[in-house]
Structure 1
């Protein structure tokens, strides 16, 4: 996968692209990163990328020319157009399903804005996706872009040491992930559930599914809406409700 990031603060991404799982994915050749300072595509000697909004109001608005020129430079001569992603609090809420969708692409371009907002023509005529990572506003789109990039890259084949990890993550199955335990089996008188020490894989999987459903019911009941549950799982939900009474 090729990932290009348009930002006026490219140095913010240097440590992010070099460390941990992301850095290892880069070393393995699973992904190629590039940061582009779109000031370099400004049309004046002062490298201006923003201007006052028409009609008045506070703040500055990112101009369309540098953004369009940067994206067109990156896509020149390419047959398949990449996904051009605008990081914006007005975008659609980001979900794991979106990460899985983007992980199927060969080329992603992220636009990280600053100031009051973007010229509307960037939204209407250039981007393919607008993404929000939450109902709050940050000083720029760099941190949200990193969050999305991290969630996508870890899904690429060969990036994680254990391929099953991504499949069983919270939200990948529609539910929150089940509890995890490791050594020692007893810590400060708190014991690991006996079923996990039994070696009985069928019972372990059943326990994990039940605990995943229990955790989702307690913390994110909205995720259960529209989820197809078998009779046993429906019975578990009734049991959770009775236990809470």
Structure 2
């Protein structure tokens, strides 16, 4: 996968792309990163990238020319059709399902804005996706882009040591992930559930399935509306709902 990031503050990505899983993914040639300061593509002699909004109002708006030219620059040598992603609080809320969708692409371009907003022509004629990481406003799109890139890159084949890890993550199955335990078996009187040290993998899988459902029921019941549930899972839910009524 090729990832291009258009930002006025490219130095923000230096530590992120050279650490942890994102670094390992690059070393394994699963992904390449390229951060472009789109100010360098401004045709203005002062390299300005923003201007006052037509009709008046507070703040400054990013002009289309530098952004369009920067995208043209990073796509000049590619034959694949990239997904051009605008990081924006008005975009669709980012989810694990969206991460899985983007992980199938060959080329992603992230546009990170600042100031009051973008010239609407950028939205209408350049981008393919608008993404928000939550219902709040950040100073710029850089932090949001980092979140999306991290969640996408870890899904690329061969990036994680255990290929089952992304499959078992919270939200991948529609449910929250089950609890985890490790050594010691007992710590300050707190014990690991007996089933996990029983060696019976069928019972362990059932316990994990049930605890995943229980955690979702208790913490994120909204997820159950769209989660594909088995007959056994539906039975567990009915039992817990009856217990809650008592």
RMSD over aligned Cα atoms: 0.9
Aligned to 1:56: 56
**Cα drift, residue 44 of structure 1:** 1.2
**Cα drift, residue 47 of structure 1:** 0.6
CA contact (8 A) 2:91 2:130 kept: yes
Aligned to 2:169: 169
The TM-score, its normalising length taken from structure 1, stands at 0.98
CA contact (8 A) 2:2 2:106 kept: yes
Aligned to 2:185: 185
Q: Secondary structure at the match of 2:226?
A: coil
Instruction: Give deviations 1:33-85, integer Å, cap 9, x for gaps.
Output: 00000000001121100000000000000000000000011112432210000
CA contact (8 A) 2:90 2:130 kept: yes
Q: Secondary structure at the match of 2:164?
A: helix
CA contact (8 A) 2:52 2:59 kept: yes
**Cα drift, residue 26 of structure 1:** 1.0
Q: Secondary structure at the match of 1:173?
A: coil
Aligned to 1:9: 9
Aligned to 2:125: 125
CA distance in 2, matches of 1:63, 1:123: 12
Instruction: Give deviations 1:5-41, integer Å, cap 9, x for gaps.
Output: 0000000000000011111111121110000000000
Unmatched runs of 5 consecutive residues or more in structure 1: none
CA distance in 1, matches of 2:12, 2:205: 42
CA distance in 1, matches of 2:129, 2:156: 20
Aligned to 1:219: 219
Aligned to 1:95: 95
CA distance in 2, matches of 1:102, 1:198: 39
Q: Secondary structure at the match of 2:47?
A: coil
CA distance in 2, matches of 1:69, 1:241: 57
Aligned to 2:43: 43
